[in-house]
Amino acid sequence: MAELKHAAVKTGCGKNGIIGCGADTADDDRSIAHSERRWQDRSLRFDHGIGGFGGVGSCEPSRPDSLQVRVFVDTSYYVARIMPRDQWHGAALEAVQSGMTFFTSSLVINEVISLLQSRGHLSAALTFLESARRSEQVQITHPDPALQTEAWDLFGRWAGSGANAVDCVSFGMMSRLGIRKAFTFDAHFRAAGFETISSAV
């Protein structure tokens, strides 16, 4: 995720920033908690977790379902959904539709909780991690040595477009799982040939 390195040190608004204005106050912690409750109340629930599709931790293609659209969930989407003042928060809340199955990686989860921690939102990071580990709505996959090697090769190809090492693992994982759509607000997924949130919903 190209903007992650900026989000960890910026406190203001920015066109390219992941975190919106003023995410360092107790009011924002309360807003995050309120936002979490709103997700729980939505008729279409979207949990950030593990299980259900192809086995826990599997990075092998599971049996395709013609009625389901596979979507990979990136760090920028999770952060936008968690942080009420993020510029993409509204779009993130509206993105989920019926007929979608969701995948992410353990590295994306690590990025999300590390970013929240670095911004002073440890409680939100721990809440997110607990939800991710117990949910059955999103499969968390883990890169194996072959996928990591492929991702390092992809980094040499796509780093110039802004993709970081975690993004390149995501690219390799999406290709392996046959996923073309990503919930992300980062343009380098499009540069790598994937559909992003604007075209995935």
**pLDDT band with cut points at 50, 70 and 90 for residue 32:** low
pLDDT tens per residue across span 71-103: 999 999 999 999 999 999 999 999 998 899 999
Range of 2-16, 31-45, 100-114 with top mean pLDDT: 100-114
Lowest mean pLDDT among 59-63, 87-91, 122-126: 59-63
Range 3-6 contact pairs with CB under 8 angstroms and sequence separation of 24 or more: 3/76, 3/186, 4/75, 4/111, 4/115, 4/164, 5/164
pLDDT at 29: 55
Q: Domain map of the chain by residue range?
A: 4-200
pLDDT at 30: 55
Q: Quick one: tokens of 60? A: 């092998």
pLDDT at 136: 87
pTM, full prediction:
0.70
- Averaged pLDDT, 32-54: 40
Reduce the DSSP state of residue 140 to 3 states and report it: strand
CA dihedral 184, 152, 112, 180 (to 10 degrees): 30
Superfamily in which the 4-200 domain is placed by CATH:
5'-nuclease (3.40.50.1010)
